[in-house]
Structure 1
Amino acid sequence: MSALVHVLVPFILCVAVANTGLFDQVSVDTNYEHYAERALPHLPAFLAMPFNCLVNAGYTVVGVYWLHLRITGLGPERDLHNAKDVFALMALLYGPVQWTRLATLRRAPAVLDQWFTLPIFAWVPVWCGAVARGWSGGRALAAEVCSLLSYSLALVHERGFELALAVHIVAAVHAASSLQRAHGDSVSLRYFALAALACVGFVVLKLLDHALAQWWPFQRLTGHFWSKICDIIQFHYSFCFLTHIAQRTQTAHKRIS
């Protein structure tokens, strides 16, 4: 229940703020020309770009899977399970937000699509810190608030969101690599490498969406589509990495005690 409250309260707050007009000056794309996949006008709006729409269900699948997966070896306390559940709920909600953006082409869902990306990446350092040093509600709250507020950079500069996202990605990779060096093994290293590779694919394929569309393999299943596949894979292996190291650290603490 605490994980649900942790995610839903800022989610509802952000939805409300995004619909006030505060971010009317933020540079977001609200037309199909932004995507290389061609819209099919004979299909309903929620399937106008079938592949880029349907791929968003993958986030919900990953979220539901990890939300219901009970991880053994995390000790009697709920803190690490709650950290996992928060991340899973973020994934579960992120898919519908992106799908709504494509279905409506409205500004508010486009803003939310960008905005929610930031606390998702910010949760990786929070979870890493909980595994390495124990849970701290204060650190988690501070990280989430700072992450949400960082979207205000989009009001200051046309590329403000991209700058905020880059900082979040670097912070997530740094936290995960530090945790790997301190507590990881060969299994967690493999998970980390796969998540990092998927993150690179997520960024590069999205940036090259239109450039890749000149090639036949990317004209139907476009770079943006494969970017989302990489993002879903990134989510999954981030879960694998963090839960595996959490189990290792908890087992080591039990042996010491």
Structure 2
Amino acid sequence: MKYALLHVSLPFLVCVAVANTSLFNNVMVDLSYEHYAEQVVDSLPGFLAMPFNSIINVVLLGYVVMGLYWLFRKNSSEETKESRYVRQVFALMAIFYAPVQWTRLATMRRAPAVLDQWVTLPIFAWVSVWCSFIEGGASWRPWFALTTQLGSVLSYGLALVHARGFEVALGGHIVYAVHKGVRVHRLYGDHLSQRHLVLALVSCGGFVGLKLLDHWLARYALFQCVTGHFWSKVCDVLQFHFSFCLLTCLSERSQARQKAR
């Protein structure tokens, strides 16, 4: 686990440092409460001004609980150290993402807003890395993982050249991750992994759709208190969880097939 922690924390700290420079001053990010459909409660402190959007990132909820569950979860005795490393990196990414989300909502500052966008990209890229690991018969290729993650981090540079550069980069990451997930399911999947895949895709669709439709949905009573943006965060946690379910299941099948040969 110490290698997974090191390999997640060091790039994360570099991104934090760069995000706090002037490099991304021209990147379009939303820095006002008007961006969100949830009504601000003036009587609450700033970090809880939008209570429902904030509470999903409280340390004992959401990303952290889910990340800790998968970080310390005991998988089958056949799990290799490489497979364990891939799982732990993904779990730590979820845990590190929680304070980024909360800090953005609590402070409405540019650096956390940039970081919130930026770290999303390597998280989706790690799904593709994990899928390639499974496709290769649970054969770990560190240089492939490194170049994939480095390319993902650098792709945020699109936000510097176009106002919608981040959306383009994120869309590309999502499409590629879905493509890899479907392909690896076809290689090693069964009815159980199919259910996990469908739930992960539905959660991903909810994560994107509910966030984009936040203000439009607020016209309806059901989404006026607990808004679309809040539910998109719930879907985000769920897509993490079901991605874990899918990829750990397929990892075990890949390893079992390799041993049977």
The reply to whether TM is greater than 0.5 is yes
Q: Deviations over 1:5-61 (max 9, x none)?
A: 110011000000000110000000111110000111111222111110011230111
Alignment-derived partner of residue 6 in structure 1? 7
Q: Structure 1 72/200 Cα, relative in aligned 2: closer, same or farther at 3 Å? A: same
For 1:79, what is the secondary structure of its paired residue? helix
Alignment-derived partner of residue 81 in structure 1? 84
| RMSD between superposed Cα atoms in Å | 0.8
CA distance in 1, matches of 2:219, 2:146: 45
Alignment-derived partner of residue 20 in structure 1? 21
Matches within 5 A, 1:1-257: 1-56=2-57, 57-75=61-79, 77-133=80-136, 134-256=139-261
CA drift at 1:73: 4.2
Given residue 188 of structure 1, which amino acid in structure 2 is its aligned partner?
S
CA distance in 1, matches of 2:3, 2:195: 31
Given residue 39 of structure 2, which amino acid in structure 1 is its aligned partner?
R
CA distance in 2, matches of 1:152, 1:207: 22
CA distance in 2, matches of 1:36, 1:74: 47
Q: Deviations over 1:115-167 (max 9, x none)?
A: 01000000001001111211110010001000000000000000000000000
CA drift at 1:74: 3.9
* Bigger Cα displacement from structure 2, 55-64 vs 84-93: 55-64
**Contact 1:73 1:251 (8 Å CA) reproduced:** no
CA distance in 1, matches of 2:91, 2:196: 17
CA distance in 2, matches of 1:60, 1:49: 20
**Contact 1:209 1:223 (8 Å CA) reproduced:** yes
Given residue 223 of structure 1, which amino acid in structure 2 is its aligned partner?
G
Given residue 4 of structure 2, which amino acid in structure 1 is its aligned partner?
A
CA distance in 2, matches of 1:124, 1:157: 26
Given residue 102 of structure 2, which amino acid in structure 1 is its aligned partner?
W
Task: Give the TM-score normalised by the residue count of structure 1.
Answer: 0.97
Aligned length: 255
**Contact 1:194 1:237 (8 Å CA) reproduced:** yes
**Contact 1:73 1:247 (8 Å CA) reproduced:** no
Structure 1 runs of 4+ off > 2 angstroms?
A: none
Given residue 114 of structure 1, which amino acid in structure 2 is its aligned partner?
Q
Structure 1 gap ranges (5+):
none
CA distance in 1, matches of 2:259, 2:222: 52
For 1:72, what is the secondary structure of its paired residue? coil
CA distance in 1, matches of 2:141, 2:47: 40
Q: Deviations over 1:209-228 (max 9, x none)?
A: 00000100000110001111
For 1:211, what is the secondary structure of its paired residue? helix
Task: Give the TM-score normalised by the residue count of structure 2.
Answer: 0.96
For 2:41, what is the secondary structure of its paired residue? coil
CA distance in 2, matches of 1:120, 1:221: 26
CA distance in 1, matches of 2:81, 2:134: 12
